[in-house]
Amino acid sequence: MIAAKPADAVDFCFLTGDTDFARPVTDMALCDADPRLAKHSSPRQVAGGPLAENILKCQLKPLNSADYAPVLFSSAQWVRPQATFPDGVCDWSEKGVGQRRAASPLTFADGPGGKRLPPPPVSAKRHILGLNSARLYGLPAAAVRYTDGGLPDYATAPELHAGGSMDTVLRGVGYPEPVVPAAPMPEDRFAKLKRWTDSIGMGRSNTRNGWMRTRV
């Protein structure tokens, strides 16, 4: 977010004397020096809590007069905080009660609070990542060779079979029938390389012409 911030987007304030809010000030030192604009701490921060304000209910620890040094309490004075906080005081060095790292993504289908979504099924990975990328995630290996209009026949992946969901999505220009150019391609190096690989039957390869790999 900081890296994408526009150059003309800056922090500013209006000093107390600017009752018409007509003179924005971008010098934060001047803003901080204004008594009415001084930064204040929340009650939790005054009590020792973190600036992040991410502890809603603190864990407790026994009262210890050493925590308040160099302040010295008399016996009569020490009785008062003991009576006020019989269960102890906040231990800000510990995580809050029930505090844990954020879990995401969440689903709220079952109501407030949410539940963490399970890992995507293998079939979803195939749809999202495609055949080559799916292999990187440990999905079934691809067939040795791919041909125009023919997806590999995975026995455990009916969506790849003819009429399956992925086969249906892919159907269109170029699939299952390859596109035949109406005019010859320009005689550049890429066109010559493509024609040469087609003539010797190399097939599709992601190491040549950006096509799909021919070996697994």
> pLDDT tens digit string along 152-186?
555 566 776 777 776 776 676 666 665 555 454 45
Predicted pLDDT of residue 9: 86
Q: Round to whole Å and give the CA distance between 216 and 205.
A: 11
pLDDT of residue 82: 94
Structure tokens, 80: 């008062």
Name 73's Cβ contacts closer than 8 Å, sequence gap at least 6.
Answer: 65, 81
pLDDT tens digit string along 133-152? 555 545 554 443 444 444 55
The mean pLDDT value for 103-128 works out to 75
Amino acid at 81: P
Q: Provide the percentage of residues in the chain whose pLDDT is more than 70.
A: 62
Secondary structure class of 130 (helix, strand, coil): helix
Give the number of other Cβ atoms within 10 Å of residue 93's Cβ: 9
Q: What is the pTM of this model?
A: 0.40
DSSP string computed for 67-91: GGTT----HHHHHHHHHH-TT-EE-
Residue 208: helix, strand or coil by DSSP? Answer: strand
